[in-house]
Amino acid sequence: MKQRGRHRRRRRGRVVRAVLSGTALALTAAATLISASQASVGDNPGALKPLTSSAEFGRLRLTEQPVPEQTLDRLATAMGRPVGVDAVLGSADRALRDADGCSPEERKALPVEPAATRAYCWDTADAATRQWQPESVATSGAAGAGGRWAGHRVILSGWTHSGGSAADRGLARVAFVDADDPAHLTYTWALLAVPVDGGRDLRGLVSQVSGMVWYRDKLLVTTSAGERDALYVYDLNRVQQATVADDAVGRVPGGWSAHGYRWVLPAVASYRPVGGACGRAAAGSGLPCPTGLSLDTGAVPAGLIASEAAPTGSGRHTRLWRYSFSEDPTRSGLLAADSGGTVSADEAYETKADGVRGVLPASTGPSAGAGWYLARAAGHEGGHGTLWRQDLRGAEATECGFSDDTHHCWGDGTGSLAYWEQTGEVWSMSGRALFALPLSSVDRALR
């Protein structure tokens, strides 16, 4: 029986690969129609520029603001004992569709070159809603031994609420995906929140969740214009259960609500720029209010990679910088800070690329030289973005089609990038599709 099961999985794998290969061929044909004006050599951002001045590094400093333990204890007393990821996964009530279950429109969003080797689409109800938009992805690759957390391989996907009432706009939810069985991914939702009034209540986090990183037991996420802080931190051992299925967030008559979701994560810390607050006035101010995050585990200590979004066509350059994680075992998953709670960047660069939404370190350490993968958004809805590898010498992009300058080969470029070291895969999102491909295939496609 076990042997037949393996054969079934192999046959299913061949079907999925055939579906993805067929999609890639169709997209490659479409890519040949992209004009040189859309993907010209002029798009090349050139070499990275290191930032070295004390003024530049001074602007990148953050202040750590931990939520008092008393606040978290009061909240837990009122809501009930916190649970961990295992309990959340155990309540999974939705399933992702394999590539052969995705619609042609969903598969159209996948990368052209390199082609995805694994692709999934969300439950049809979640895929159909336009009030929630998928933005980011993180994995348990750096959470625990063997890339597992609580014995599970886990993928997290951040979504933002883009419609509805003003009170709901900007709410952030995270899909907890059980990825133990690659042929059958299941998931459920949890809302991101912030304790208020000393733990007597909760409010929803306002965030586009365009950047998200999972390191050890902490989840770090970016914010949006409605928040003053640059980053919020969540403890994945501290998940609270809602008791009332109401649209509100926080304490309600009869108990606690999380906008209709069963689970809610209260923030345990945040980071705010030393030089001011993030928010609508922060764009172009030089304050470190990142829109993209990724993890650097190739150096010691591990680091948080941050990037800011310069709008496509704005003429502004994009900054990329790195903070080290603390090596203090009592500060697991938090950034390295001095005795006053100040966090300083240890590397910073500038790229001429704009429209950058995903970033991933390609090389780390002082002797390796700076290297980054940058995912740039498509210039129009339904189009394909570009994926560049950039270092101090220059930049290369993945190519597709039959034109030397056809670089629009990636997904739509709006999703973050996450590297799962144990499998050698890069995970990202495009449109309503979640996909993975070997990092080695990216390097082979660079020109």
For the stretch 158-177, pLDDT in tens is: 999 987 777 788 999 999 99
User: What phi, psi does 33 have (nearest 5°)?
Assistant: -85, -5
126, 188 Cβ separation under 8 angstroms: no
Whole-angstrom CA distances from 261 to 53, 104, 132, 242, 334 are 47, 30, 14, 7, 27
Residue 315 has pLDDT above 90, yes or no: no
Give, in degrees to the nearest 5, the angle at Cα 297 between 295 and 303: 55
What is d(CA 389, CA 373) in angstroms, rounded to the nearest whole number? Answer: 4
Residue 365 has pLDDT above 60, yes or no: no
266, 192 Cβ separation under 8 angstroms: no
Lookup: tokens for 66:
């931990």
44, 407 Cβ separation under 8 angstroms: no
- Residue 28's pLDDT is 45
Residue 71 has pLDDT above 90, yes or no: yes
What is d(CA 54, CA 319) in angstroms, rounded to the nearest whole number? Answer: 15
Least confident of 122-126, 168-172, 340-344: 168-172
348 beta partners: 321
Percent of all residues in the chain with a pLDDT value above 70, rounded to a whole number:
87
133, 438 Cβ separation under 8 angstroms: no
Whole-angstrom CA distances from 244 to 166, 260, 269 are 22, 8, 26
- Specify the amino acid at residue 175: A
| Model pTM score | 0.90
3 state SS of 86: helix
DSSP of 228-249: SSSEEEEETT-BEEPSB--SSE
CA 115 to chain centre: 20
Least confident of 57-66, 147-156, 277-286, 293-302: 277-286
- Residue 27's pLDDT is 47
Lookup: tokens for 47:
């070499």
What is d(CA 333, CA 62) in angstroms, rounded to the nearest whole number? Answer: 16
310, 283 Cβ separation under 8 angstroms: no
Q: How many helices (H) and strands (E) does the chain have?
A: 7, 29
Top pLDDT among 283 and 355 is at: 355
Nearest CA to 387 out of 119, 161, 113 is that of 113
What is d(CA 374, CA 416) in angstroms, rounded to the nearest whole number? Answer: 10
> Is residue 227 very low, low, confident or very high in pLDDT (cuts 50, 70, 90)?
very high
- Residue 115's pLDDT is 95
- Specify the amino acid at residue 281: A
Cα Rg of the chain, angstroms: 21
Sequence-separated (6 or more) residues with CB below 8 Å from residue 434: 96, 119, 120, 121, 122, 134, 137, 155, 157, 427, 428
Nearest CA to 343 out of 359, 331, 351 is that of 331
Q: Which residue has the tokens 């052209």?
A: 112
247, 234 Cβ separation under 8 angstroms: no
Top pLDDT among 266 and 224 is at: 266
- Specify the amino acid at residue 216: R
Least confident of 214-228, 296-310, 321-335, 366-380: 366-380
